[in-house]
Amino acid sequence: MSEKQTRDEILDLIQLVDRSRDAKGKPLFRRRDAFGGGFGWAIFIIGTLFSLVIFFGLLYDFGKISLVDLMVLDFTFITVLLTFLSSVIQLAESSMLEVRFKKALGLRPSFTENQKLILKALIKIKSKHDEFALGEVYKKNKDMFTKEKLMEKLYE
């Protein structure tokens, strides 16, 4: 494939992602796509951690544990909660990318493997910066949208 054909292919996929509409006119990318993988278990774990904090607070109120023990337990649970939330945020980002990629694959009957790779990279960029049109960024910095640079985006 020539360099011009590759650039045309990339520009076509940029326009496809920028339109962000499916065949029925519904938005292709939504904020709730992050929950495409189902995060009910995350809410359960967070609720369980908060319940344990309340439980240990009650133990302190009834004199079963000391204030120092309560503080250590609270700090431990806060640390566990923050670590868990960090993991959930990373999982939400990857889930959002996968949901949006699957939606985009439904826009055309067939994409080549090369187009799929480029499309996924473009969706990843668009997901991080929804407020900017990829076409506008492309006009200002075409070097950012070479096939090689887009492949690098997949592994960031």
Give the pLDDT of residue 66.
92
Rg, the chain, Cα only: 23
Mean pLDDT across the chain, nearest whole number? 84
Asked whether the beta carbons of 113 and 121 are under 8 A apart, the reply is no
HSE (CB half, 13 Å, CA atoms) of 47? Answer: 6
Give the integer Cα–Cα distance in Å for 156 and 150: 10
Spatial distance between the Cα atoms of 140 and 3, rounded to a whole number of angstroms: 19
Q: What's the pLDDT at 139?
A: 92
Q: How many CB atoms lie within 10 A of CB 16?
A: 20
pLDDT at 140: 93
Instruction: Say yes or no to pLDDT of 125 above 60.
Output: yes
Confidence at residue 119, expressed as pLDDT on a 0 to 100 scale = 92
| Residue 112 confidence (pLDDT) above 70 | yes
Please determine, for residue 146, whether its predicted confidence score (pLDDT) is greater than 80. Answer: yes
Between the alpha carbon of residue 143 and those of residues 122, 129, 132, the distances in Å are 14, 18, 17
Residue 37 pLDDT: 52
Average pLDDT over every residue of 130-150: 90
Average pLDDT of the residues in 92-114: 83
Percent above pLDDT 90 for the chain:
22
**Does the structure show a pLDDT above 70 at 38?**
no
Q: What is the DSSP string of 114-152?
A: HHHHHHHHHHHHHHH-TTS-HHHHHHH-GGGGSHHHHHH
33 pLDDT band (50/70/90 cuts)? low
Task: Give 113's DSSP letter.
Answer: H
**Contact by Cβ (8 Å): 112, 100:** no
Written as six digits, the tokens of 37 are 């993988």
